[in-house]
């Protein structure tokens, strides 16, 4: 019988497991496929890291973002694990060829779903012993798969081609409907799959919604909040352009150090900004929603949503970046009537209409006139030998789902009470009846003080004796303590 607590202490330096971790590990050791739904900060990565130290073979981790892969490889390196690599677009052709030739030498391999569809990578993986196949941020299977990154829908087939290694799906948020869809897509039998699910209720995060009259008021409210709230903080935007412009505006109009973080930046810039934020050299990150998943910092005190998220599940995933250390934190959703139009436009611009599908399948349109994302999506379904009518039905169903999800989030944002209970109901959890750790309207100075989140004035002092040691800097950089 493996002494998991001994391994946890000796290999990873922790005295006890976080809730859910031991149950997942025990199920994996027993040979079961597992779905782990643990809150953000629940220590999901430690689970597959420990499985890699307990059994021989490669741990294959399917990850949605380059920044997540780089972060996890860096942490494993820090722990003394040199045999970890991210198979992604940053590798040149020669390096990739060398890595594939010696793939069995690695213990942890991180890969995107798109890269995993590459036949040469699949061939190389079939030649090695796969200890465990992990799908990290597994909610993306259903939230991104049908209409954004359809390669996620091929994971079950790829899993079969790799001789069906043991599966571990990890996420922080999944409704019962999302969970059922994840199991269906991955062809997992619920009767023979261990489900370890913890509550999404993060009691240390205060929930706040604020409705304002216009965009000018919203911008000023952001400036007021970041000047009064104790950081560090993250502000989410649905637009790269606005995330960038707001970072510049806040730098000009506050004494804070602010940077934008999104897919429009090159890999070096993203990595630099992420590390500056980890080391407290930046106070605020303005991020797009998708790239917020790459921000992994324990002591984020506030998350502000300038725009609406895609859904309640996405919103919970995003504000879950706050308070991972268990300390008092706040999630603030700002809203101006009509804000939903941005998400509506994004939904309609990404999901092809029946007419567009018919025209592309029938070669009745100049494809250079079409949106590149829609065209790529249609071509994917064509390549899977899915008929035009079937593809149109899939897109129509997905459009209805996306619109319903947005409407549900809009309902939450405009509630006059019961924010936490609405959140819990969404995830089929018992309501708490807690109306004291939430608020609607403009957050007051008294509210901020009561939460212990008032920012202290900056004072210039001699900090030579308080300067952190190199060990402290490294621990913070890799979120070790």
**Three-class SS string for 301-318?**
CEEEECCCCCCHHHHHHH
Sheet of 130-135: strand order equals 84-87, 108-111, 58-62, 130-135, 167-171, 33-37, 193-197
Between CA 455 and CA 461 the distance in angstroms is: 17
Angle at CA of residue 388, ends 384 and 390, nearest 5°: 75
Q: Which CATH superfamily is domain 205-337+415-477 in?
A: P-loop containing nucleotide triphosphate hydrolases (3.40.50.300)
DSSP assignments along 239-250, one per residue: -HHHHHHHHHHH
Strands 258-261, 108-111: pairing kind: unpaired
Domain 4-197 in CATH 3.40.50.300? yes
Q: Which two tokens stand for residue 214?
A: 């216009």
* Distance of alpha carbon 235 from alpha carbon 246, whole angstroms: 10
Residue entry with tokens 């989410």: 236
Give me the chain's average pLDDT, please: 89
3-state secondary structure of 7: helix
Q: Which two tokens stand for residue 121?
A: 């990578």
Contact (CB, 8 A) for 216 and 68: no
The alpha carbon of residue 11 and the mean position of all alpha carbons in its chain are separated, in whole angstroms, by 27
**Residue range 71-100, pLDDT digits in tens:** 788 888 887 888 999 988 778 888 888 999
Nearest Cα to 70, choosing from 295, 317, 325? 295
- Tell me whether strands 108-111 and 167-171 are parallel, antiparallel or unpaired: unpaired
| CB atoms closer than 10 angstroms to residue 47 | 26
Q: Closest Cα to residue 175, out of 454, 425, 472?
A: 425
List the domain boundaries for the chain: 4-197, 205-337+415-477, 341-407
Q: How many CB atoms lie within 10 A of CB 430?
A: 10
Beta-carbon count within 10 A of 464 CB: 6
At 356, is the secondary structure helix, strand, or coil? helix
Backbone angles phi, psi at 20, to 5 degrees: 95, -25
- Domain 4-197 matches domain 205-337+415-477 at the CATH topology level: yes
Provide the pLDDT for residue 463.
44
**DSSP 3-state assignment of 361?**
helix
Residue 34 near residue 193 (C-beta atoms within 8 A): yes
The whole-angstrom separation of Cα 218 and Cα 372 is 32
pLDDT, tens digit (0-9, with 9 covering 90-100), for 178-231: 999 999 999 999 889 999 999 999 999 999 999 999 999 999 999 999 999 998
Q: How many other CB atoms are there within 10 angstroms of residue 240's CB atom?
A: 18
Closest residue by Cα to residue 277 from 479, 448, 76: 479
Q: Which residues of the chain have pLDDT under 70?
A: 1, 290-294, 435, 458-481
> Contact 277/285 with Cβ under 8 angstroms?
yes
pLDDT of 469 reads: 53
Q: How far is CA 30 from the centre of its chain?
A: 29
Q: How far apart are CA 42 and CA 298, in angstroms?
A: 11
What is the model's pTM? Answer: 0.86
Backbone angles phi, psi at 332, to 5 degrees: -120, 125
Distance from C-alpha of 230 to C-alpha of 112, rounded to nearest angstrom: 36
d(C-alpha 218, C-alpha 238), whole Å? 15
| CA–CA dist 36, 270 (Å, integer) | 29
In 3D, which of 19, 70, 16 has the Cα closest to residue 478? 70
Total residue count of the chain as it appears in this document? 481
pLDDT, tens digit, for every residue of 416-461?
999 999 999 999 898 877 767 899 999 999 999 999 999 987 554 4
């Amino acid at each position: 019988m493996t002494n998991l607590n001994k391994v946890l202490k000796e290999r990873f330096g922790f005295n006890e497991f976080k809730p859910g971790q031991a149950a997942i590990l025990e199920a994996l050791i027993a040979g079961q496929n597992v779905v782990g739904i643990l809150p953000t900060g629940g220590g999901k990565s430690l689970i597959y890291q420990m499985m890699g130290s307990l059994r021989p073979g490669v741990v294959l981790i399917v990850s949605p973002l380059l920044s997540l892969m780089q972060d996890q490889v860096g942490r494993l390196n820090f722990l003394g694990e040199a045999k970890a690599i991210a198979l992604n677009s940053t590798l040149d052709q020669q390096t990739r060829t060398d890595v594939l030739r010696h793939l069995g030498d690695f213990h942890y391999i991180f890969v995107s779903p798109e890269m995993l569809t590459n036949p040469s990578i699949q061939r190389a993986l079939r030649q090695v012993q796969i200890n465990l196949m992990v799908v990290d941020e597994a909610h993306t299977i259903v939230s991104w798969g049908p209409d954004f990154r359809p390669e996620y829908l091929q994971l079950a087939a790829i899993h079969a081609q790799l001789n069906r290694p043991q599966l571990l799906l990890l996420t922080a948020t999944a409704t019962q409907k999302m969970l059922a869809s994840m199991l269906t897509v991955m062809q997992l039998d619920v009767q023979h799959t261990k489900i370890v699910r913890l509550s999404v209720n993060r009691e240390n995060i205060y929930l706040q919604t604020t409705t304002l009259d216009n965009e000018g008021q919203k911008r000023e409210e952001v400036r007021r909040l970041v000047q009064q709230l104790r950081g560090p903080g993250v502000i989410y935007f649905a637009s790269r352009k606005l995330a960038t412009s707001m970072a510049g505006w806040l730098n000009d109009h506050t004494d804070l150090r602010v940077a934008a973080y999104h897919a429009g930046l090159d890999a070096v810039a993203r990595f630099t900004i992420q590390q500056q934020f980890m080391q407290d050299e930046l106070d605020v990150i303005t991020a797009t929603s998708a790239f917020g998943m790459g921000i992994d910092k324990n002591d984020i005190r506030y998350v502000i949503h300038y725009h609406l998220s895609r859904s309640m599940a996405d919103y919970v995933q995003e504000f879950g970046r706050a308070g991972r250390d268990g300390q008092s934190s706040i999630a603030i959703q700002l809203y101006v009537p009509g804000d939903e139009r941005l998400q509506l436009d994004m939904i309609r611009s990404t999901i092809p209409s029946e007419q567009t599908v018919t025209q592309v399948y029938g070669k009745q349109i100049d494809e250079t006139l079409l949106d590149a994302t829609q065209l790529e999506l249609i071509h994917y379904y064509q390549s899977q030998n899915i008929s035009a009518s079937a593809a149109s039905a899939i897109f129509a169903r997905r459009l209805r789902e996306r619109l319903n999800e947005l409407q549900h989030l809009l309902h939450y944002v405009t509630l006059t009470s019961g924010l936490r209970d609405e959140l819990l109901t969404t995830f089929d959890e018992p309501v708490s009846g807690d109306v004291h750790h939430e608020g609607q309207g403009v957050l007051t100075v008294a509210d901020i003080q009561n939460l212990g989140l008032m920012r202290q004035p900056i004072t210039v002092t001699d900090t030579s004796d308080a300067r952190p040691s190199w060990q402290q800097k490294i621990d913070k950089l890799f979120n070790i303590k």
